[in-house]
Amino acid sequence: MSSRILLVEDDKNLGDQIVTHLKNDGFEVTWIQDGHAALDVDPKQHDLVVLDLMLPGAHGLDILKIYRETAETPVLVLSARNETSTKVRALALGADDYVTKPFWPEELLARIQARLRRPLLHAGDVIETGALRIDLGARVVENAGQRVDLTRIEFDLLAALAQRIGAAITRQALVDRVLDPDREGTGRTLDVHFSRVRKKLGTEGARIATVWGVGYRLLPPGA
């Protein structure tokens, strides 16, 4: 039983490449080459959507919004670099992941497989772990019932860790996802944000562990 991928991509070359690679990896692929036609397709019929935001006709973001309202199918977004605002809006609209162009095919594959393998964590889901309660939809964090005020970046960083409790998340991945995708993983900005998150979370903040030379991880409660 292979997974069914819905690809919305207007660029013929790129689309061809992606389809070839996905089929090569055993996926069933439906390729929509036109933004308007995308609205005639039911995302519920697929296991995952790959959506290029740079569409000429209907705006990719509109399609994303409509898909999100009609189905829970995870959406993986493609976007060009230097489009940070678009990326932020896409994630806010409930995109589950994004890949920045240009990318290597295997990178896209890895993201797709990771997404399909993982239990779905949609915007709207709530993560409860230890004394923490993280509402991804409302973007609200509570610590032992007490509301904690986090800024956008602080919240996204915590959420990134909380969505894979115990897993080490690389600095680069965090920078890509939360800060500018076209920025090198160097610099101390991440550290400053995590420093604040830790302080704001008090005891629970100690669960944010540094993984030396790699990134950060959220330790499971009581460990």
Partner DNA sequence: AATCTCCTTCAGGGAGACTTAAGGTTGCAA
Partner DNA sequence: TTGCAACCTTAAGTCTCCCTGAAGGAGATT
**Which of 4, 65, 164, 177 touches its own copies (CB under 8 A)?**
164
What residue has token string 């994303």?
Answer: 64
CB closer to DNA out of 98 and 194: 194
CB closer to DNA out of 138 and 214: 214
Does 8 sit near DNA (CB under 7 A)?
A: no
**Which of 192, 202, 203, 220 touches DNA (CB under 7 A)?**
192
Residue 51, classed as helix, strand or coil, is strand
Does 207 sit near DNA (CB under 7 A)?
A: no
Task: Show the DSSP H helices in the chain as ranges.
Answer: 12-24, 35-38, 60-70, 84-92, 105-117, 152-162, 171-178, 189-201
CB closer to DNA out of 115 and 196: 196
* Partner whose binding site includes residue 198, from its own copies, DNA, none (CB under 5 to 8 Å by kind): DNA
Per CB under 7 A, contacts with DNA among 151-180 are 151-154, 171, 179-180
Q: CB under 8 Å to 92, separation ≥6 — which residues? A: none
CB closer to its own copies out of 68 and 193: 68
Cis peptide before 102 (omega within 30 of 0): yes
CB atoms < 10 A from the CB of 212, how many? 6
Does 187 sit near DNA (CB under 7 A)?
A: yes
Nearest residue to 38 (alpha-carbon basis) of 24, 22, 51, 54: 51
Q: Are the beta carbons of 192 and 157 closer than 8 angstroms? A: no
- Is the sign of the CA dihedral 140, 141, 145, 146 positive or negative? negative
Q: How far is the CB of 88 from DNA (least distance, A)?
A: 9
Does 37 sit near its own copies (CB under 8 A)?
A: no
Q: How far is the CB of 96 from its own copies (least distance, A)?
A: 7
Q: Residue numbers of the site for DNA (CB under 7 A)?
A: 149, 151-154, 171, 179-180, 187-189, 191-195, 198-199, 210, 212-215
